[in-house]
Structure 1
Amino acid sequence: MPENATHSSQPITVGAGFIILLSALMALTSLSTDIYLPAMPMLGRELHGDAEQLTITGFLIGFTIAQLVWGPISDQLGRKVPLIIGMLLFIAGSVGCAISSSMTQMVFWRVFQALGACTGPMLARSMIRDLFSRSRAAAMLSTLMIMMAIAPIGGPLLGGLIIEFSSWPVIFWLLAVTGVMLLLALLTLPETLPEERRVRATFNGAFSNYFSLLKNGLFLRYTLSLTSYYMAIYAFIAGSPLVYISYYGVSPQHYGWLFAVNIVGVMLISTVNRRLVQRYPLDILLKTALSIASLAAILLTLAAGMKTGGIVFLAVMMFFTFSMNGVIAATSIAAALDEVPEFAGSASALVGALQYGSGIVSTGLLSLFSDNTPWTMSWIIGLFTTTGAMMVLTVKRRH
């Protein structure tokens, strides 16, 4: 049902098309990574390299650094122009990946692809904060997560289907075409940050906002909690192809279904969370979700350490850990941005940079300590999920 925004000088009608487009922008990161997960073993063989996980690391490095630049720019120029420029960079990077002939080239173009891809989820969050208050923003973010879950569900399934009948370059050509379609849709997007609410400082002054954000204790606590949880999430994303396909012998096509089960959990929990945020404080919801995720992650770690439970126990525990993302991401982001509404663009950039940059740590640890069993992935998930929970369990309750 359409709803008029409340923060803009000229109300913007928020209809189904607007929500779908924002969902697609937020899903761009997941699609860019998840769709080629089934092709990673093939990628390593055909590009004559054994560092295919670095294609994820490279993407996350570009994604993290670029957000810190785009955030202050969007606070000064508005949201629409950076989105359009970012989509052009994403298209160019996708084409570069498709024509790569070595692992070095692939990693380079993945970094380039990320320079543009990061504008989608970052500015979608900023636009929600431009238009809605704290609790309503959390509900809207939950709505977006329900719709954006199509990408991580369909991505591995589609990627597995493509490599069954073709090869990995087709995956990146498909991403390029997707970028073109989103670029055309962006031309119809309204600007949510009016002139009178834009930052008037110089770019150097705008970047100093990050120092102010880092001094805000509550903002930082919510942000670091999400960051720690996403270290666990990226450990699963990067480590699960090895565990499921190489260790347990699951086919690349069936791997997509195993991965999709977790995203279905995110969709279900996000649906429930849309109602919960209207009835309960965000902090209570966040603490509860992180506690559930931590318990499942600890059990997963213990089972992996004792080499018991098998693939079924691993999949069940990951379902509970991963699906809590439907509450954790929406509530922590809404709570963090609500602390600093005057710096929504910069704050969203910093949240996104730390959230997705956390994957750099995860993939680095996986590469460093991998023993070709589920153990390394499991202890990384257990460690960082519980760390994220500890960050918010001491936050003073807010109503």
Structure 2
Amino acid sequence: MGALTAIGPVSIDMYLPAFPSIATGLNATHSQVERTLAIYLIGMSVAQLAYGPLADRYGRKPPLYGALSLYIVASAGCAIAPNIEVLTASRLLQAMGGAAGMVISRAVVRDHYDTQEAARALSMLMLIMGVAPILAPLIGGQVLALTGWRGIFVLITVSAIILLWTVSRVMVESLRPDRVIPLSWSSILHNYSQLIRNGKFVAFAMSGAMGSATMFGYIVSSPRLFIDYYGISSQSYGLLFGLNALCLITGSQVSARMLKKYRPVQLLPWALRAMMLAGLSALGLTLSGSVTLTILMGCMMAFMFCQGFVGPNSAAMALSEQGNRLGSASALLGTFTIASGACAGFLVSLASETGPLPMALILGGCTTLSWLIGGIARRRP
């Protein structure tokens, strides 16, 4: 399940060090190369909606076979792309294949565990989500130095082939026959309309999505802020990026331990308040002109620690009591998460301000929204 969950961050982060090389190799602009990342996020956001109903009808394994096969072919297409247009199209197909891993891994967790145990299991998956962004750029950079940018996609292709073989040999089908839903346009629309009208599901899903939006805003704005504005080296930037990911990992594992004693609904209020405090501190100090790199990093690390609580616990609460709509619920949850992050990243990229204000606005605004929406979720029957 961890490997399936890691498909998303690995596909996003591993090729980031190769952006200049891709631009040179394909005679493309940097904006065109950056667009391949935006296309990937859009494809992953939309494709998740298809895998939910498929997983509820055909089980968890069959959709994975098709999705991973598509992911393998698309990754190979990225490796041999003769121009930026083919690379962009291949990245879109790669996202459509990779989206299944995130949807089905969450559904499998809920198939096996109740809400509290699911939150603990999702915290372990958050560990993978935290480690992947640290290791992926480092591995990508080494592969880039040894083989060039195409070698990164060759490595992704080979890894996906191994993952497909592992799924076929190790993974056990977890969908019970009594929870199978007939597949039709009417049933798909009915399930999603029921979920959208489920205020508790939407509120918990969006509360977690606002935390993810903050992370994407940070990912987009941090290179320009830390390297161009504060003037730190690329190596130091990598260290700061790793420290934030380490805080996310630590938070998720502390959450997993605390879930042995407390329920997710008990942990969420405290985590949301602390997360908002970190965000508003960053915004207030930035607006007052007294923020420094050290202070900003402290606020960001505190946010990441809290997100390690908020992410898995809000997901577990959103997926609770979904019954035979679990696959669709997991898909819609993923769409909310990726779409919110893509919007936040897009807004940050539009800012002409090179200082800390764009990041601080996202940090303060999204964490406040997460707290407000989380409060609404807890009051829903």
TM-score by length of structure 1 reads 0.87
The answer for the alignment partner of 1:276 in structure 2 is 258
The answer for the alignment partner of 2:370 in structure 1 is 388
Letter in 1 for 2:165: L
Of 338, 343, 367 in structure 1, the residue corresponding to residue 325 of structure 2 is: 343
Deviation at 1:74, TM superposition (A): 0.7
The answer for the alignment partner of 1:35 in structure 2 is 14
Please say if residues 38 and 253 of structure 1, whose CA atoms lie closer than 8 Å, have aligned partners that are also in contact. Answer: no
Deviation at 1:93, TM superposition (A): 2.1
The answer for the alignment partner of 1:257 in structure 2 is 239
Is residue 118 of structure 1 aligned with residue 99 of structure 2? Answer: yes
The answer for the alignment partner of 2:114 in structure 1 is 133
Deviation at 1:35, TM superposition (A): 1.9
Name the CA shift for 1:252/1:143 in 2 (closer, same or farther; >3 Å). same
Alignment of 1:59-208 (within 5 A): 59-188=40-169, 189-208=171-190
Q: Distance in 1 between matches of 2:200 and 2:182?
A: 26
- Deviation track 1:29-68 (CA, whole Å, cap 9, x = no partner) reads 1111122333345545554323243222211110011110
Letter in 1 for 2:120: A
Q: Distance in 2 between matches of 1:169 and 1:240?
A: 26
The answer for the alignment partner of 1:19 in structure 2 is none
Deviation at 1:379, TM superposition (A): 1.3
Aligned partner of residue 261 in structure 2, secondary structure:
coil
Query: What is the aligned length?
Result: 378
The answer for the alignment partner of 1:365 in structure 2 is 347
Letter in 1 for 2:29: G
Return 5+ residue gaps in structure 1 as ranges: 1-21
Q: Distance in 2 between matches of 1:137 and 1:102?
A: 44
Name the CA shift for 1:245/1:178 in 2 (closer, same or farther; >3 Å). farther
Of 49, 62, 65 in structure 1, the residue corresponding to residue 29 of structure 2 is: 49
The answer for the alignment partner of 1:354 in structure 2 is 336
The answer for the alignment partner of 1:216 in structure 2 is 198
Aligned partner of residue 72 in structure 2, secondary structure:
helix
Please say if residues 222 and 333 of structure 1, whose CA atoms lie closer than 8 Å, have aligned partners that are also in contact. Answer: yes
More helix by share: 2
Alignment of 1:234-249 (within 5 A): 234-249=216-231
Deviation at 1:111, TM superposition (A): 1.5
Letter in 2 for 1:229: G
Please say if residues 296 and 320 of structure 1, whose CA atoms lie closer than 8 Å, have aligned partners that are also in contact. Answer: yes
Please say if residues 293 and 324 of structure 1, whose CA atoms lie closer than 8 Å, have aligned partners that are also in contact. Answer: yes
Q: Distance in 2 between matches of 1:44 and 1:245?
A: 20
Q: Distance in 1 between matches of 2:71 and 2:126?
A: 21
Letter in 2 for 1:84: Y
Deviation at 1:378, TM superposition (A): 2.6
Could you say what the CA RMSD is over the residues aligned between the two structures, in angstroms?
2.3
Residue identity over aligned pairs, in percent, reads 33
Please say if residues 283 and 397 of structure 1, whose CA atoms lie closer than 8 Å, have aligned partners that are also in contact. Answer: no
Aligned partner of residue 118 in structure 1, secondary structure:
helix
Q: Distance in 1 between matches of 2:217 and 2:282?
A: 13
Q: Which moved more, 1:376-385 or 1:239-248?
A: 239-248
Deviation at 1:213, TM superposition (A): 0.5
Name the CA shift for 1:276/1:327 in 2 (closer, same or farther; >3 Å). same
Deviation at 1:212, TM superposition (A): 0.4
Deviation at 1:335, TM superposition (A): 0.4
Q: Distance in 2 between matches of 1:303 and 1:37?
A: 31
Q: Distance in 2 between matches of 1:48 and 1:374?
A: 30
Aligned partner of residue 208 in structure 1, secondary structure:
helix
TM-score by length of structure 2 reads 0.91
Deviation at 1:91, TM superposition (A): 1.6
Q: Which moved more, 1:257-266 or 1:115-124?
A: 257-266
Q: Distance in 1 between matches of 2:89 and 2:285?
A: 38
Deviation at 1:307, TM superposition (A): 5.1
Q: Which moved more, 1:175-184 or 1:146-155?
A: 146-155
